[in-house]
Amino acid sequence: MTIDEQIEDVYKQECNRVSDKIISGFYYTFSEYNGTSVFDEI
């Protein structure tokens, strides 16, 4: 694996981690708003 590929791999992992946080944060807020725990598992 070249340096460029490693950087790209780390970058993708970071992007996924951040978008996961945003999505789970959104679903958590959404479920709190509804007063249900429908989205807690996501």
- The residue whose two tokens read 């946080």 is 21
Selected residue with higher pLDDT from 24 and 4: 4
- The residue whose two tokens read 């429908």 is 38
Q: Are 37 and 27 in contact (CB under 8 A)?
A: no
Q: How far apart are CA 2 and CA 5, in angstroms?
A: 5
**pTM score over 0.85:** no
* Mean pLDDT rounded to a whole number for the chain: 70
Q: Predicted confidence band at 11 (pLDDT cuts at 50, 70, 90)?
A: confident
Q: Which amino acid is at 38?
A: V
Residue 22 has pLDDT above 80, yes or no: no
